[in-house]
């Protein structure tokens, strides 16, 4: 039994089914990320955990206790909102001290704790300002400070860094991770930014359309996703359809247009239609040292662009409707458009799944 247990939660808003039976188990002291595209129900799930919404069915348990109907002020979960929700009529100091005053701490203690968190987040000297007089990044940090200062058991963060510029985002991400470790806070972190989820989280739940597709550590989800959607969603990927012509122990041989490729097999049998996900990275035109770990894609170059850290290539495979996106190392020769090319792709970047209609349709429509 996890520290926080989400059991088969369903939530409907009028006609929209925002959550269609979500279950999760989150451990104490864990930094748990919820990752998924816009509108998949992340915020709704977080708000149910926080107590702002009551699910239509299902339960929320904290340490084995049913808190489904418990109002937010009784849960000990503190939430940081996507739009920060700073109180415009209070100064930075008052905003941060609010939670401490609620806990009826002595004045000196409040002062000490506020100072501590101001230092921690580099907000010293801003105590007397109102939120309207701060920059976006500063407001963001005040919102974090307001939550962190009460040292909650559980901190819920809804895309807390999404409104910041890339540099600040990176720095705060690091600080957040350090703090979480130091204070041992259980954090649930909602984001649609996969890189953020990967770099921060102990575990990630990937959500799609009101359901949790898969839960796992970042490495696990990235290198060996067990679900088609996870494979698609993480990294720069191309999804194409093929036919399984043969299966071996962990791999499958797939007819892809006029060529045959090998891919890691996730439950396909001979003759099945395969949804093949190809990750762009790790591809090379040079003969690798251990060719057994690679499979070869052969086709015509339709796009070739020097990006800087890599060369982006789109490879048109004869008989295949969609071009495959591949990143070649930038020290390799930029292949001319229209030329025939043979690319080695690591086997660990080729994953084949049963073709779930909905996901395949969506992916093919996007292209």
Partner 1 sequence: MAKASTARAKPSLLKRLYPKAKTDLEIFLLLYIPLIVITVAFIVPLLTIIPEAAKADYKGLLSNVYYLELDKYSVNRFVVVNKLPNEIRVTINGFDFGVIGNSIINAAIVTIIAAILGSSLALLIGIYRFRGRRVFSVLAYIPLLIAPFVNAYVVKVVFAPSLSPQGNTLSYLLNHLFEPLLGKKLIIAFDKQAGVALAQILMFYPIIYINTLAALGAVDATLVEQALNLGARGLKLLRRIVLPLVVPGILAGSTLVFILSLEDVGAPLVFNYDKMISYQVYQFFQSAAAGDRATIAALSLILLTAAAIPLVFIRRYLSLRYYARLARGAPRPFQGIRLGKAGYLVAYLVFLPIVVAAATPQIGVIILSLSKRWVGPLPDLLPAHNLLANFHAIVSDPGLRRAITNSLTYLGEAIIFVAILGFMTGYAIARARLPGAGLLDILASLPLAVPGLVVAFSYFVFFSKYSLYGFFDPFLNPGHVLVLAYIIRKMPFTVRSVFTSVIQTPEELEEAARSLGARRARVIRRIVLPLVWYGIVAGLLLSSIYILSEVSVSVTIGALKGGPIANPSTHAAPITYAIAEIFTLPSVTGGTQPQARAAALAALLMITEIAVIAIASRLARRGQALITL
Ligand X SMILES: Nc1ncnc2c1ncn2[C@@H]1O[C@H](COP(=O)(O)OP(=O)(O)OP(=O)(O)O)[C@@H](O)[C@H]1O
CB of 220 to partner 1, least distance (A): 24
Residue 58 touching partner 1 (CB under 8 A): yes
CB contact at 8 A, 159 and 82: yes
CB contact at 8 A, 97 and 147: no
CB contact at 8 A, 284 and 344: yes
Question: What CA–CA distance (Å, rounded) separates 90 from 229?
Answer: 44
Residue 208 touching ligand X (CB under 6 A): no
Q: Name the binder of 50 from ligand X, partner 1, Mg ion, none, CB < 5-8 A by kind.
A: partner 1
Q: Tell which residue, 275, 266, 265, has the closest CA to residue 243.
A: 275
CB of 289 to ligand X, least distance (A): 43
Residue 192 touching ligand X (CB under 6 A): yes
Q: Tell which residue, 309, 290, 306, 299, has the closest CA to residue 343.
A: 299
State which residue, 19 or 263, has the beta carbon closest to ligand X.
19
Residue 18 touching ligand X (CB under 6 A): yes
Question: What CA–CA distance (Å, rounded) separates 4 from 26?
Answer: 5
- Cα 321 to the chain's mean position, in Å? 29
Under DSSP, the state recorded for 267 is S
Nearest position to Mg ion, beta carbon: 43
CA distances from 100 to 17, 109, 122, 191, 279 (A): 38, 9, 20, 28, 48
Three-class secondary structure of residue 23 per DSSP: strand
State which residue, 41 or 55, has the beta carbon closest to ligand X.
41
CB of 41 to ligand X, least distance (A): 4
**Choices 80-88, 105-113, 132-140, 183-191 (CB under 8 A): range interacting with partner 1:** 80-88
Q: Tell which residue, 102, 93, 100, has the closest CA to residue 124.
A: 93
CB of 200 to Mg ion, least distance (A): 17
Residue 56 touching ligand X (CB under 6 A): no
CB of 138 to Mg ion, least distance (A): 23
Question: What CA–CA distance (Å, rounded) separates 176 from 199?
Answer: 11
Q: Name the binder of 288 from partner 1, ligand X, Mg ion, none, CB < 5-8 A by kind.
A: none
Q: Please pick, from the candidates 16, 27, 28, 57, the single residue that binds partner 1 as defined by CB under 8 A.
A: 57
Residue 13 touching ligand X (CB under 6 A): yes
Give, as ranges, the residues between 29 and 48 that touch ligand X (CB under 6 A). 36, 38-44
Residue 6 touching ligand X (CB under 6 A): no
Contacts with partner 1, residue ranges (CB under 8 A): 7-8, 21, 23, 50-52, 57-59, 69-79, 81, 83, 85-89, 98-99, 102-103, 146-147, 150, 156
């Amino acid at each position: 039994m996890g520290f926080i247990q989400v059991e088969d939660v369903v939530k409907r808003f009028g006609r929209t089914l925002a959550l269609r039976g979500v279950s999760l188990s989150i451990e104490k002291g864990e930094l748990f990320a919820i990752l998924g595209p816009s509108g998949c129900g992340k915020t709704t799930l977080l708000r149910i955990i926080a107590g702002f919404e009551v699910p239509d069915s299902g339960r929320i348990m904290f340490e084995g206790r049913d808190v489904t109907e418990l109002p937010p002020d009784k849960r000990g979960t503190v939430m940081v909102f996507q739009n920060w929700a700073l109180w415009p009529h209070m100064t930075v100091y008052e905003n941060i001290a609010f939670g401490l005053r609620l806990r009826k701490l002595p004045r000196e203690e409040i002062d000490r704790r506020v100072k501590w968190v101001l230092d921690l987040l580099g907000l010293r000297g801003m105590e007397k300002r109102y939120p309207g007089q701060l920059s976006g990044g500063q407001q963001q940090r005040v919102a974090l400070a307001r939550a962190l200062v009460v040292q909650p058991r559980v901190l819920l963060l809804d895309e807390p860094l999404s409104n910041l510029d890339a540099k600040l985002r990176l720095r705060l991400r690091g600080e957040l991770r350090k703090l979480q470790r130091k204070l041992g806070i259980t954090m649930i972190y909602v984001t649609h930014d996969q890189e953020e989820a990967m770099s921060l989280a102990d575990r990630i739940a990937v959500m799609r359309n009101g359901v949790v597709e898969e839960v796992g550590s970042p490495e696990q989800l990235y290198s060996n996703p067990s679900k088609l959607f996870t494979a698609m969603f993480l990294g720069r990927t191309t999804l194409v359809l093929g036919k399984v012509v043969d299966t071996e122990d962990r791999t499958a041989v797939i007819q892809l247009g006029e060529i045959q490729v090998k891919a890691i097999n996730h439950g396909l049998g001979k003759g099945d239609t395969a949804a093949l996900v190809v990750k762009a990275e790790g591809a090379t035109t040079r003969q690798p040292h251990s060719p057994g770990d690679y499979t070869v894609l052969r086709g015509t170059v339709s796009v070739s662009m020097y990006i800087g850290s890599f060369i982006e290539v789109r490879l048109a495979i004869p008989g295949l409707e969609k071009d495959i996106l591949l990143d070649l190392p930038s020290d390799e020769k930029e292949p001319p458009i229209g030329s025939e090319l043979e690319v080695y792709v690591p086997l660990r970047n080729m994953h084949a799944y049963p073709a779930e209609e909905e996901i395949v349709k969506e992916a093919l429509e996007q292209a």
